[in-house]
Structure 1
Amino acid sequence: MSVVIAVAVPHPPLIVPGVGHGRERGIQSTVDAYREVARRIAALQPDTIVISSPHTAMYLDYLHIAPGPGARGTFTQFGDTADGSYVAYDEELVAELCRLARGEDLPAGTSGEREPDLDWGVLVPLHFIQLAYDELRAAGTETAPYRVVRMGISGLSPLQHYRMGQLVARAAGRLGRRVAYVASGDLSHKLAADGPYGFSPDGPVFDRLTCDAFESGDFLALLTADPGLCERAAECGLRSFQIMAGALDRTPVEAELLSHEGPFGVGYGVACFSPTGPAGSDPDRAFGEKYEAWHAADMERRRAGEDDLVSLARASLEHRVRTGSRLPLPDGLPTDLLSRRAGCFVSLTKNGQLRGCIGTIAPTRSSLAEEIVANAVSAGLHDPRFPPVTADELPELVYDVDVLGEPEPVDSREGLDPRRYGVIVSAPDGRRGLLLPDLDGVDTVDEQLRIAARKGGIALSEEGVAIERFVVERHR
């Protein structure tokens, strides 16, 4: 036995009548589709329901699986104390998942639980599933109890989320479990200017990309989605969907997009994937392998497109990590890098997530080349927010180099533009906070100033706070 059905569903608490108090009728298509996929799950009566939720414990480098015999949760924080769930966990399947993860060297397991109660990313799907089971029993159909495995998402790569799904299917097969996989996650949170999160042009783009993948069953698009696009769209469920895709690795499926709507400015998609053949029988659906080939080509393309500044940053960090020594300046560098002095920031990303960023507001070394060499090493090894970069990570890193122009004072917020200018917020006692321009998710002057001030430990209301702006030369 293995995965007998997989569904992708949203988790707005207002869809529960005790929370929505009628507002749920504003997304009736989602309600109807939700009830349909829940009925399909209940009709199959799986032994175990595996649910991935973005709102359970989440770590940068670890996929968390809820431990223990079971858990309960309610919608009390949303004003509804009457609705909720208690579920028994499938401890045997959890143990097998952890054993397989250790054997595959996949960072996943039951350590680090922060909140044992069920989160709304689990409670909302369970509300509809339990309702479907109640309807079966009311119609005279006997139902067997099911158990639950609850897991979170992480900052790990799309491939590692996919591998987690593969382990779900493998563990289910080894234990003879019939598993329903529920990928809980909303789509973009930026579909409408009057919505709670505002509008981004990338919001509808992300929803279209995801819904096309749901409708076609081509999960490669879920793995190769541009991280910048996803950040700007403020998506919620992508990594949950990636785990689901892995649970259906090489399995032929009938893919159905049952509904998609976003009347409140948040995208809600409901999709169902029903196996039409044995697990592992369709090599054309080996999306993990396809992603690896795509990723290797993409990283090669990125390296081929690096200019002198980015190449120097990469060479500096790689040399230091592999040899422990400082990189001598290479021969043949452009004259401008050797004669010019400027502050610069070097940023590292991995799997679309920040991996380190260190820089200097003003020049501290004899040339821009020396500045880049030093700041690249600092970004990789001395950013206090992250552990030092390891040799295994080097091939996965993407580098940005921002060369700072001369800061200039501004008298009012009208002189700022978070897309064009970076900002420096300074206090009279020397505290300073800097934020670079054109960052994903920073769309307003207020957001930019608030983040820059927080980085410097400054309250914008303090007496004597000064604001400067600067432009950057961005090298990616």
Structure 2
Amino acid sequence: MSISGTYLLPHPPIVIPEVGKGEEKKISDTSDNFHKIGKEIAEKKPNTIIIITPHGVMFQDAISLSYVEEILGNFKNFRVPDVSMKLKIDKELTNKIYELAYSVGISSIIATNTLLNKYNSSVSLDHGAMVPLYFINKYYEDYKLVHITYSALSDIDLYRFGICINKAVEELNEDCVLIASGDLSHKLKQEGPYGFDAAGEKFDKELLHCLHIGDVNGVFDIDKGTISNAGECGRRSIAIMLGALDEKKFIGDLMSYEGTFGVGYGIMKFNIIADGPSKLVELEELKNKAYENINNQKDPYVKLARESLTSYLKTGKELKIIPDYVTDEMKDKKRGVFVSLKKHGELRGCIGTIFPITINIAEEIIRNAISAGINDPRFYSVEEEELLDIDFSVDVLTEPERASIDELDPKEYGVIVKSKGRTGLLLPDLEGVNTVEEQLAIALDKAGINYDEDYEIQKFKVIRHKEE
């Protein structure tokens, strides 16, 4: 036996009639096609449904596989606790997937309640799983579940994990369907939950087109900036799903796409048309090409930041010789510097100095790049294998000057607040910080200064360097 059906399904709780209370009619195409998929899966009568979700208990460095006898969930977070479900976990298949992933070095975790209790959590169904299953359960309930939550591993490792899923299904002679649960861009409309960004529509069109024509390489070659700015939550579910389709030629049948509420809801089923070669080699070539582009980076500021952290992770030592590409300005001037790391568009580390503590900008970058990678207390240390998926940026601060509230502009100026030895800083032009009041509130909170205390304000500009 094998995976007999593969689907990309969204997970808007509002499509559930008990949650939507009439609003679900605004996405009737999505609702209608959920019912069609439910009926189709009922006709297939799979023993197990494998679902990949963004919203289960997520580990930053490992894919999570729920491992309990039964898994429960309800929509109490959406004010309808009576809408609930309880499903048996296919523990044999879950364990087999874990074993195969472990054997090829893909970081994954068997998530039990004993483990999750340490994190004040428990194994449960999330809405990323429950929304698709709600419609399936209308027509078919005689199945077990494999519940998988992706993590921020590299795209290739996610793809390889998908290969492990398919191999486990074949080795155990299981009859399964696989669902990649994921919404597309969350930034399709200004009135949407995350505002508007032109990258949203661009991402959705590119992704769905690539899936429609079976272009796996195209999915993995979508511009990182587009992915980051689109604000999506489905791409990594899709990466795993595509791995499960490795060695298959397929086309994607887009049944519907709606962006009524500012979020892209795409329903697609995948039809296998022939056997084909594995895509792993080609994906590795894409990865090597990406390395070449990084190594050819022209901006010396971000190039130095990347080289500094890379060298430290490989050797355990700080760069001692300043590279030839470092400019005279970087060697002659002293400035405060912030180095930021983002992985798949999400912050992975940020450390900086308001005022310089080394002899020049270059040394400041070398020092802060390492600290951003290994000393940011909000994150575990960056590992060498992650570097390809991390984007570096370097902010060089101008000399701070005293300012009044009227002189601030969160898009143009960063802000420093000081009171009784406490200092808080916020860089300019940050996503989600649109007003002076928001900027000051965050800076004061970082410093532990109450809003009604006396405090000094300074403003500064940054010269921002990003990887191309």
Aligned AA for 1:225? I
Number of aligned residues: 458
Which residue among 238, 241, 254 is the counterpart of 2:238?
A: 241
- What is the deviation of 1:51? 0.6
Give 3-state SS (helix, strand or coil) of 1:276's partner.
strand
Match of 1:406 in 2: 399
Q: RMSD in angstroms over aligned alpha carbons?
A: 2.4
Aligned partners of 1:155 and 1:353 also within 8 Å: no
1:472 pairs with 2:465: no
- What is the deviation of 1:29? 0.6
Deviations 1:311-345 (A, max 9, x none): 33334334444444442233644322222111111
Cα distance, 1:318–1:161 mapped onto 2, change above 3 Å: closer
Match of 1:316 in 2: 308
Cα distance, 1:34–1:474 mapped onto 2, change above 3 Å: same
Deviations 1:251-299 (A, max 9, x none): 122420010111111111100012234xxx211xx44433321121122
- After TM superposition, the structure 1 = structure 2 runs for residues 322-471 of structure 1, keeping only pairs within 5 Å, are 322-330=314-322, 332=324, 333-393=326-386, 397-412=390-405, 415-418=408-411, 420-424=412-416, 426-439=417-430, 448-459=439-450, 461-471=451-461
Match of 1:140 in 2: none
- What is the deviation of 1:8? 0.8
- What is the deviation of 1:441? 5.6
Aligned partners of 2:89 and 2:145 also within 8 Å: yes
1:127 pairs with 2:124: no
Query: Could you tell me how far apart the structure 1 residues matched to 2:258 and 2:390 are?
Result: 36
Cα distance, 1:388–1:120 mapped onto 2, change above 3 Å: closer
Cα distance, 1:180–1:445 mapped onto 2, change above 3 Å: farther
Cα distance, 1:411–1:104 mapped onto 2, change above 3 Å: same
Deviations 1:333-383 (A, max 9, x none): 432222211111122344554433221111112222222222223223322
Gaps of 5+ in 1: 135-144
Aligned partners of 1:228 and 1:440 also within 8 Å: no
Match of 2:276 in 1: 282
Match of 1:58 in 2: 58
1:146 pairs with 2:143: yes
Match of 2:71 in 1: 71
Query: Could you tell me how far apart the structure 1 residues matched to 2:435 and 2:224 are?
Result: 20
Aligned AA for 1:34? F
Name the TM-score, length of structure 1 as normaliser: 0.89
Deviations 1:137-174 (A, max 9, x none): xxxxxxxx211100112111111221221111010000
Match of 1:139 in 2: none
Aligned partners of 1:222 and 1:241 also within 8 Å: no
Which residue among 184, 194, 197 is the counterpart of 1:197?
A: 194
Cα distance, 1:416–1:152 mapped onto 2, change above 3 Å: same
- What is the deviation of 1:94? 0.7
Cα distance, 1:430–1:101 mapped onto 2, change above 3 Å: same
Aligned AA for 2:299? D
Name the TM-score, length of structure 2 as normaliser: 0.90
Query: Could you tell me how far apart the structure 2 residues matched to 1:288 and 1:52 are?
Result: 21
- After TM superposition, the structure 1 = structure 2 runs for residues 155-166 of structure 1, keeping only pairs within 5 Å, are 155-166=152-163
Aligned partners of 1:4 and 1:275 also within 8 Å: no
Query: Could you tell me how far apart the structure 1 residues matched to 2:418 and 2:323 are?
Result: 42
- What is the deviation of 1:308? 2.7
Deviations 1:78-135 (A, max 9, x none): 222332211111000011011111101111121444332211111111111111228x
Query: Could you tell me how far apart the structure 2 residues matched to 1:453 and 1:63 are?
Result: 37
Give 3-state SS (helix, strand or coil) of 2:241's partner.
helix
Cα distance, 1:265–1:397 mapped onto 2, change above 3 Å: closer
Match of 2:3 in 1: 3
Bigger shift: residues 336-345 or 432-441: 432-441
Deviations 1:187-221 (A, max 9, x none): 11222122233222222222222222332232333
Aligned partners of 1:232 and 1:440 also within 8 Å: no
Match of 2:295 in 1: 303
Query: Could you tell me how far apart the structure 2 residues matched to 1:311 and 1:321 are?
Result: 16
Query: Could you tell me how far apart the structure 1 residues matched to 2:437 and 2:300 are?
Result: 35
1:293 pairs with 2:285: yes
Aligned AA for 1:185? G
Query: Could you tell me how far apart the structure 2 residues matched to 1:311 and 1:198 are?
Result: 32
Bigger shift: residues 365-374 or 22-31: 365-374
Aligned partners of 2:187 and 2:195 also within 8 Å: yes
Match of 2:84 in 1: 84
Query: Could you tell me how far apart the structure 2 residues matched to 1:305 and 1:264 are?
Result: 39
Aligned AA for 2:348? R
Match of 2:37 in 1: 37
- What is the deviation of 1:388? 3.6
Query: Could you tell me how far apart the structure 1 residues matched to 2:346 and 2:377 are?
Result: 16
- After TM superposition, the structure 1 = structure 2 runs for residues 106-117 of structure 1, keeping only pairs within 5 Å, are 106-111=106-111, 112-113=115-116, 114-117=121-124
Match of 1:138 in 2: none
Give 3-state SS (helix, strand or coil) of 1:110's partner.
strand
Bigger shift: residues 334-343 or 324-333: 324-333
What is the percent sequence identity of the aligned residues?
A: 39
Deviations 1:446-472 (A, max 9, x none): 55445444433445x332244433222
Query: Could you tell me how far apart the structure 2 residues matched to 1:446 and 1:245 are?
Result: 45
Cα distance, 1:191–1:370 mapped onto 2, change above 3 Å: same
Aligned partners of 1:3 and 1:248 also within 8 Å: no
Aligned AA for 2:237? S
Query: Could you tell me how far apart the structure 1 residues matched to 2:75 and 2:364 are?
Result: 53
Match of 1:18 in 2: 18
Query: Could you tell me how far apart the structure 2 residues matched to 1:90 and 1:393 are?
Result: 31
